[in-house]
Amino acid sequence: MTKRYLRPTQFVDTPVGRDGEVARLGGGLGWFAAYEMIAVADGRRVAVETWPVAEFAERAGDDSALLALAARISAARVPLTLGERVLRFDQPQVMGILNVTPDSFSDGGAHLDDPAGAAGVGVDMAVAGAAIVDVGGESTRPGAQPVWEGDEIARVVPVIERLARSGTPISIDTRKAAVMEAALAAGAHLVNDVAALLYDDRALEVVVRAQCPVVLMHAGDSKQGAGGGRAYQDPLIEIYDWLERRVDEVVAAGVERARVLIDPGIGFGKKLNDNLALLNGLALFHGIGCPILLGASRKRLIGALSHEAPAEARLGGSLALALKGADQGAQLLRVHDVFETAQALRIWRGMRDAALTAIG
């Protein structure tokens, strides 16, 4: 059986004066002039063609699957209500990373045993431009040791309680059902699970009961975190298929589709070339119809491409990847360097706004 995919390509700055020639990307500030149609059979690409947007209806004919796919790619994503705030997806937003761990690869130990200080850092992130702060109490770097759920709860709950009192939208970065429950009770609004609710047998039940938004991330092995990798023949297509199936499973279990976000899992169980394929082809994932979270900040691939720069010296690479994600319509960018990323996105937005103003 042959399955066809559509990857938006030939991005343009503005749709002004190009009616019928361009389509909107995920209801945001991006437009594109063509689809890359990829046909896959028995795990192999059997055709790759460029279809101009202006010719799409003719080429797709009465193929309802392709027509639905194109509609999902262009549709606006439903905003999320997070406490008193509303998270809109009509432009890229920033998720600030707040690690409360002793061993995270980037900033481990900086906020451990100081919940008031950690919460203060989270508030500062919100002031600097973070739409949501992602609190985590367990490192998922390769080789990291699992943390007992009681210790993880003790790390994150005091921080979340303080952040919640400030009105800051909060996500809990965890794989464990008990931690999800404690964090949501303390005031968290969203669950960000690197294991896509597969690590803990109760995790899906918790999210269904809470009816909270959830990020489903692809990892090489949901039980191993970043260390569980495998070989991919076509990482872009294989990871798309995995996320598509997982979204369908979670929705079938009772989570509203409008509350599901997806993350291709840059750096989790993937080689450098796999990560680059995902970053270059990120727009394909709009076909699943969910907001896309991109987490590439300070990742190992930046060091691999820049003379083995250590984590604390990867700001330039992180900004490059954030803007790459914005260009391809990623709705949420998970980053360590909130001020710098938010500033970069303001400049990006300013250029988009200028391009939308017709001249003459």
CA separation, residue 147 to residues 136, 144, 213 (Å): 11, 9, 24
Separation CA 72–CA 67 (nearest Å): 9
Closest CA to 136 of 110, 124, 127: 110
Lookup: tokens for 209: 């009961």
3-state secondary structure of 75: coil
The one catalytic residue in 77, 299, 300, 314 is 299
Catalytic annotation present for 259: no
Residue closest to 51 by CA, chosen among 36, 61, 63:
36
CA dihedral 113, 115, 116, 119 (to 10 degrees): 130
Q: Nearest-5° angle of CA 229, CA 232, CA 235?
A: 105
Q: What residues have CB less than 8 Å from 217, skipping those under 6 apart?
A: 192, 193, 194, 195, 196, 262, 263, 264, 265, 268, 293, 295
Q: Which of 162, 175, 270, 334 is catalytic?
A: 334
- Whether 334 sits among the annotated catalytic residues: the reply is yes
Q: What's the token pair of residue 325?
A: 């994600």
Judge residue 163's burial from the number of C-beta atoms within 10 Å of its C-beta, 0-12 exposed, 13-18 middle, 19 or more buried. Answer: buried
Are the C-beta atoms of 177 and 200 separated by less than 8 Å?
yes
Taking only Cα atoms into account, the Rg of the chain, rounded to an integer number of angstroms, comes to 20
Catalytic residue numbers, as ranges: 299, 334
